[in-house]
Structure 1
Amino acid sequence: MPVGHFPLQDKIVVITGGGSGICFSFAQLALTSGARGILICDLQLTPAAQDLINQTPDEVHFMKCDVTDWNDLEAIPPKVEEAFGKGQVGDVWIAGAGVFEPKWSSFIYDEEKEGGYKAMRINAEHPIKLTRIAMRSAISVNKPCAVLIVSSGAGITGQYAAALYCATKHAVVGFTKSMGQADIDENCKIVCILPGMVSTPLWTGRSDAVASQFSYTDEVCITPEDVAQGMKEMIEEEKYPGGSLMSIAKGKLRNVLESKLAFANDGSEIYKQFESKCYAPIREIWNGERGTKLS
């Protein structure tokens, strides 16, 4: 059954990219909203994030995490137990780590030497893998969960000067649309927020000319707090079911985008037969993982 109303109160929240920017603002908001515990997963912390941990050592914990390393991602559930108690799992998962067109991982500069685009692993692969880990964790103890992926307005538009970034953000928008059924079948709600330009270290912390190239100014930006409020709404409110997309940008802080399955459920016998056949192998996997966590 769908997750429905899902307040942050008393929830355990896992946040990748929570050391700065949008996701740090969400960590602060979750804490003031009564979250039981917050695990920030990032490569490093800003001074403000470190201060928050120092001031709230029982509620907020840090785990050094390279989101391109699946071993690091798989280590998150054990860290949740270590931080918040044996048998505990994350209730709310934020896939927020991301990069914007660094020269070391760019279609046009083509400086990457590792045999793959690292930006694709950070922006697209990590949210998908984190969602799988989140669902496995929640299903193993028969609990609902919410996963919010931080995409971008670039996930529904194109930009010649940021082709790889747009591709990564389109990927997670398509993934979110495809995961709407998980809310209905598995009590796991996957949603996606698409911010416009936001005043964060992604822009302000750069040493290159990218901010100037894309005409970055504070006047065209929204704040990280604006985005965090939208994230809270998507997680908590029943009107945002799994598969929902919300854009949030200067001049229009809330815009719910249409998200449809390829085959709309019209209640017909043909649809029921299609769904039963198409989804059966997926449902079998989740059923095998349900309630399997040892106490």
Structure 2
Amino acid sequence: MSWPFSTSNKIVVVTGGGSGIGLSYATLAVANGAKAVVIGDIALTDEAQKIVTETTNLTFQHCDVTQWADLQRLIDVCITKFGNVPDIYVASAGVFEPPYSNFWEDPEPLESNGYKHVDINVNHPIKFTRLAIRALLGKQKHGVVALVSSIAGYSKQYPAPIYSATKHAVVGFTRSLGDAQRFQGVKVIGVCPGIVSTPIWTTSTPGSGERFGIGEDISITPEVVAKTISDGIESPEYPGGTILEVSKLGTRVVPEWFIHPPGMVDGKMPEGTDVPEHMIIKSLEPIMNVTKRERGNMA
């Protein structure tokens, strides 16, 4: 069982709101009548800075999502500036096998005792959700948490195994919290985009767009994903625990069991969805170079 949840006159907080999907959702929330929107990020793009400057009810708050105190500060800012805790929480900050934390190049020293990649993509949405539930219970309010995962959350990604693992984690976490709507009055949903044209392919992991053949022909825009997030938040059609997929092939609710690939009809994939062989080779090339150096080398 679910309920409608209009964005109108609500307080909204978005991690990763400085660019891409997060920024697109933040501006959509403003357009949908949100009372106030706070975007948390480590920095703003020029586009985001211009939007924040020109939009009276859009506020930027510096936030490193690996720091739990920064996540709590997003909620505290809403209380201080707008007199209440947020009603809507969107966790869109994420990275894709960045040069400072990835599986195959393995740049982090043993003393790190963990992957920053996992801190950003997994620990951040989990802790953000816990803080959201606590804040909403404290004010005895209903609310919605939307977590941005990926189609990689239920598919294999050999060149990007940590990214895939983190998105699997978000899908499992979202499903596990489905009953929070019934017990705590907090709806937790997940949105799983396909390939999206965002800075994750350029500034976050330089060169990855070319390596994986990311182009407009297979990508959707951040605005399309933002609309899906908004629909998931507002519509009673999507109860807690729902996983909403959005890609070039359309939107669907992903079932818990026996997940078919996007766009499959009668056991067949649409024409043109196969990855070209030359792109597979190109995506694997850096991995083969690294493991070639390691073979037989115990230094």
Give the alignment's TM-score, normalised by structure 1: 0.84
| 1:214 CA displacement | 1.0
SS in structure 2 at match of 1:104: coil
1:163 aligned partner: 161
| 1:208 CA displacement | 3.1
Q: 1:106-255 to 2 correspondence within 5 Å?
A: 106-113=102-109, 114-205=112-203, 208-252=206-250, 254-255=251-252
2:45 aligned partner: 46
2:287 aligned partner: none
Residue pair 2:2, 2:238 contacting (<8 A) in 1 also: no
2:59 aligned partner: 61
Q: d(CA) in 2 for partners of 1:22 and 1:255? A: 18
AA in 2 matched with 1:17: G
AA in 2 matched with 1:83: K
Q: d(CA) in 2 for partners of 1:34 and 1:208? A: 36
* Consecutive unaligned residues in structure 1, runs of 5 or more: 261-295
Question: Among residues 236, 250, 254, which one is paired with 1:257 in the alignment?
Answer: 254
1:97 aligned partner: 93
AA in 1 matched with 2:107: E
SS in structure 2 at match of 1:243: coil
| 1:207 CA displacement | 6.7
SS in structure 1 at match of 2:183: helix
> Does the C-alpha gap of structure 1 residues 120 and 162 become closer, same or farther in structure 2, counting only changes over 3 Å?
same
| 1:107 CA displacement | 1.0
Q: 1:249-288 to 2 correspondence within 5 Å?
A: 249-252=247-250, 254-259=251-256
* Consecutive unaligned residues in structure 2, runs of 5 or more: 258-299
Residue pair 1:3, 1:187 contacting (<8 A) in 2 also: no
Q: d(CA) in 1 for partners of 2:101 and 2:204? A: 15
AA in 2 matched with 1:112: E
Q: d(CA) in 1 for partners of 2:209 and 2:140? A: 45
| 1:84 CA displacement | 1.2
Superposed CA RMSD: 1.3
Give the alignment's TM-score, normalised by structure 2: 0.83
AA in 2 matched with 1:92: I
AA in 2 matched with 1:222: I
Q: Deviations over 1:252-293 (max 9, x none)?
A: 2x1111147xxxxxxxxxxxxxxxxxxxxxxxxxxxxxxxxx
1:33 aligned partner: 32
| 1:251 CA displacement | 2.1
Q: d(CA) in 2 for partners of 1:208 and 1:14? A: 28
SS in structure 1 at match of 2:179: helix
SS in structure 2 at match of 1:219: coil
AA in 2 matched with 1:231: I
Aligned length: 255
Task: Report the identity percentage.
Answer: 43
SS in structure 2 at match of 1:161: coil
